Structure 1
Amino acid sequence: MRPLAPGVHQLPGRPPHLVNAYLVEDVLVDAGTPAARRRLTRQLDGRALSAHVVTHAHPDHYGSSHAVCDRYDLPLWAGAADAEAIRTSTPVPAPGRIPKLLSRLKTPDPHPVARGLREGDEVAGFTVLDVPGHSPGHIALWRDHDGVLICGDVFFNVLWPTGPPGFLTWDQEQNLESMRRLAGLRPKLVLFGHGRPLRDPARLLRALR
């Protein structure tokens, strides 16, 4: 695992940084696609874990959640407005024909959500922020004392910081408001669902222009 900040590690993926998962103290944040199960468990076996958090109910973020939670007997926590989508494995599609077609593809195994996270809740020293748009119940995790932000898919950083693809985003206007909110925090370290870590907060602001 790659250490990024005190108590925060990135689980290496293939290819690197394409679909990210993080270990925050003893909490796993996101679980990649269903194909990531073995890679994740190889890195997590032997570690003390207390919970698994999903930033949002898209198959590339809760794809291996059921397998991980079953293997380590973990409760799954997610944004309250995304809990039903994970419990039933029926993600809310974005508007339009292509998202509806994509929603018919095989989805990950469903899993019960033990705790619906809301604004202001605490997870492993981070504060939960409600940042809907990419999905109805998207959350971010913010640690104020050192400016570490786990933003899920509110931003992508595949080549440079941008918003997520419109055809995968439930409400683009809401996501834009969430982007503004997170950029306004001026984080010192931003960890994305997709892309490399970023230590230059000004680049988030430029993504809004």
Structure 2
Amino acid sequence: MKRRLLLTAGSGVLGVTVLNTMSGCTRTPAKKEEQANPNAVTGDWQRVNLDFVSVYLLVRGGEVAVVDTGTPGSAASVEDGLRAAGLGWSAVKHVILTHQHQDHAGGLAEMVPLTAATLYAGEADVTAIGDPGGGRGLRAVKDGDEVFGLRIIGTPGHTPGHVSIFEPATGVLVTGDALRNQNGLEGSAPQYTADETQAAQSVRKMAALDVRAILPGHGEPLTTGARDALRKLAASL
């Protein structure tokens, strides 16, 4: 933009007018800010909220690990979660089930034809979950195994083969039903727990980890004060 002065005189008064002229320049419209993914929880983790239960997505480098599959009929909601991350089923390379119950494993059969992902579950729950179809079986995992940079934590009690998923680099712990956060942080719901003694031991085991965020199957993710809340719970059992 150039400015030009126009001088005028009359009745002994000198007037100055500033004229703005455009010289080959155009205004570039401000770039719209990208909308944040509403499913984002912490770090690379995203939540697909199915009302009373959650599926979690770890999106890293265009590759996705899905933890739990929700109830039968949940595939469309998980697909919406993938789309919100700018991805689709082809990006899903790992599906990890925390345990055998239908609100966590019920959506698996529906998702198998949609993805070529490797399927994982705790070894003591594999038989109860059964064959997901598609010519692929479940790969049994146990305490200390690693999938996509995630450590498998054996947390039996809720079911015999229940596992939780820990990301050491960030301190994120995905707990299935070993922990819930509907009325403050609690352990496995007694009425749905196969072995309450084992379940309590699993809580104490998780409390020894360097936990910075807890993503439970039921209730809200706990992203602040997670370590203290978990240690307090463990000490009360």
Q: Select the residue among 42, 66, 69 that pairs with 1:31.
A: 69
> How many correspondences in the alignment?
185
Helix, strand or coil at the partner of 1:66:
helix
Report the residue type matching 1:43 in the other structure.
Answer: G
Q: Deviations over 1:147-172 (max 9, x none)?
A: 11111111111111112221211111
Q: Which structure shows the higher strand fraction? A: 2
Tell me by how many angstroms 1:186 deviates: 4.2
Tell me by how many angstroms 1:35 deviates: 3.5
Report the residue type matching 2:208 in the other structure.
Answer: G
Alignment of 1:11 onto 2:48: yes
Distance 1:43 1:190 in 2: 20
Higher relative contact order (CA 8 A, sep 6+): 1
Contact 2:39 2:81 in 1 (8 A): no
Tell me by how many angstroms 1:36 deviates: 2.0
Contact 1:41 1:68 in 2 (8 A): no
Q: For structure 2, which runs of at least 5 residues remain unmatched after alignment?
A: 1-37
Q: Which structure shows the higher helix fraction? A: 1
Q: Deviations over 1:159-201 (max 9, x none)?
A: 1111222121111100000011112224111110111111212
Partner of 1:102: none
Tell me by how many angstroms 1:86 deviates: 0.7
TM-score (norm. length: structure 1): 0.81
Alignment of 1:43 onto 2:81: yes
Helix, strand or coil at the partner of 1:207:
helix
Alignment of 1:87 onto 2:130: yes
Structure with bigger gyration radius: 2
Q: Which runs of 4+ in 1 moved over 6 A?
A: none
Alignment of 1:189 onto 2:187: no
Helix, strand or coil at the partner of 2:181:
coil
Percent identical among aligned pairs is 31
CA RMSD of aligned residues (A): 1.8
Contact 2:175 2:214 in 1 (8 A): yes
Partner of 1:107: none
Alignment of 1:122 onto 2:146: yes
Distance 1:54 1:9 in 2: 16
Q: Select the residue among 34, 49, 56 that pairs with 1:22.
A: 56
Distance 1:44 1:85 in 2: 28
Q: Deviations over 1:77-116 (max 9, x none)?
A: 111111111116xxxxxxxxxxxxxxxxxxxxx5553310
Alignment of 1:61 onto 2:61: no
Distance 1:21 1:79 in 2: 17
Alignment of 1:137 onto 2:194: no
TM-score (norm. length: structure 2): 0.72
Distance 1:145 1:39 in 2: 28
Distance 1:66 1:160 in 2: 33
